Structure 1
Amino acid sequence: MEIKRCGWSEKDDLYRKYHDEEWGKPVYDDQLIFELLVLESFQAGLSWYTILKKRPNFKKAFEDFNYKKIATYSDVKVEELLSDAGIIRNRLKILATINNAQKFQEVQKEFGNFSSYIWGFVGGKPIVNDPKTLQDVPATTEISDALAKNLKKRGFKFLGSTVVYAHMQATGMVNDHLVDCHCK
């Protein structure tokens, strides 16, 4: 029997694995939440597939997405990252990652952890949508608008509503698996 998946995930095994094992599954671990924030911010203007292929390189370049270390990166480290062909070499996105690591820690201090803060926007539990087709899945929602606005107010960068909604999907804050998908 063939497994039914969301159509976007059928590109290859990398996409299928991500779809089946990660996308839409609730994430409460701050480290993984930060990793996905970084990857989503780098994805802006690019395909998610490009980012997934480069994910191991990002993980190495950004020291396993250790936000405490990233928050202290120097100009020398920025230049090193800009010369790393394994990642997206965009100065503004690299600087935003450093900035966001600093802001991430500020939110942790205020809320105890970043997970409590971000999950508060959905009442602590996933929003389960029932899209029948990919066209039924929105790019943004009122919640992603509010979260993006709040993140911007807190000084985060490269996290507009579309990026935030993709992050909400990636971390399972929203379950947008199609109704006939085996992950639903």
Structure 2
Amino acid sequence: MTDDLVPGEDGLARPLWASTDPMLRDYYDTEWGMPVRDERGVFERLSLEAFQSGLSWRTILAKRPAFRAAFADFDPDVVAGFGDEDVARLLGDAGIVRNRAKIAATITNANATVALRADGGLADFVWSFRPADTPRPRTAAEVPTTSPESTALSKALRKRGFAFVGPTTMHALMEALGIVDTHLLGSHRRATSGIWPD
């Protein structure tokens, strides 16, 4: 076991970022990297990854209930219909990240998500960029922040009208959805998604 993995009181090994904070630990143990294949689930994570850009994931996770309330539980059909009054409401909502560009991108992406249904939908589109193999990092330094697939996904989504979908953000999305497994070797969560064997 490396210094980047910390055994918890329960005997389970977790990375440093998930080892002390109860909210992050619960997210790591139960959600991060588990397969998400429904449109709303993928749209929510795409949206939250965009809002996370430049901020800590803990900040976004703590605000997730407020984000869900503000964005109609990330129903793409509802968010696609948001207008100026909704933008003003969101900019006044202290429970979320009040960034005009990110709010506008979420509405733009909702419209793009609805449009993508004609070609199979957002979830299948994003999952079509699953690589042939997944990283096997032993240390935090070995965890990649981009990949050829996340770069290709970024370009493909931009062509479809999506915003705030850079290669780093898309790699984080792929990790969160279980498309790649970047759990450290030795973590109790390694290979638990059912997508990758080890």
Q: Which runs of 5+ in 1 are unaligned?
A: none
2:56 is matched with: 47
1:35 is matched with: 44
> Which amino acid in the other structure matches residue 184 of structure 2?
L
Q: How far apart are 1:115 and its partner, in Å?
A: 1.5
More helix by share: 1
Q: How far apart are 1:121 and its partner, in Å?
A: 1.0
1:68 is matched with: 77
2:145 is matched with: 139
Q: How far apart are 1:114 and its partner, in Å?
A: 1.6
1:84-121 CA-to-partner distances (Å, cap 9, x unmatched) read 0000000110010000000011112212x222111111
TM-score (structure 2 length as normaliser): 0.88
Q: In the alignment, is residue 56 of structure 1 matched against residue 56 of structure 2?
A: no
Q: In the alignment, is residue 166 of structure 1 matched against residue 175 of structure 2?
A: no
Between the aligned partners of 1:32 and 1:6, the Cα distance in structure 2 is 25
Q: Which runs of 5+ in 2 are unaligned?
A: 1-9, 191-198
Q: In the alignment, is residue 105 of structure 1 matched against residue 114 of structure 2?
A: yes
Q: 1:121 aligns with which of 129, 132, 136?
A: 129
> Which amino acid in the other structure matches residue 75 of structure 1?
D
TM-score (structure 1 length as normaliser): 0.95
1:17 is matched with: 26
Q: How far apart are 1:155 and its partner, in Å?
A: 1.3
Alignment RMSD? 1.2
> Which amino acid in the other structure matches residue 15 of structure 2?
C
Q: In the alignment, is residue 150 of structure 1 matched against residue 156 of structure 2?
A: yes
1:89 is matched with: 98
2:13 match: secondary structure: coil
> Which amino acid in the other structure matches residue 144 of structure 2?
P
Q: 2:15 aligns with which of 1, 6, 12?
A: 6
Equivalenced residues, count: 181
Highest relative contact order (Cα 8 Å, sep 6+), 1 or 2? Answer: 1
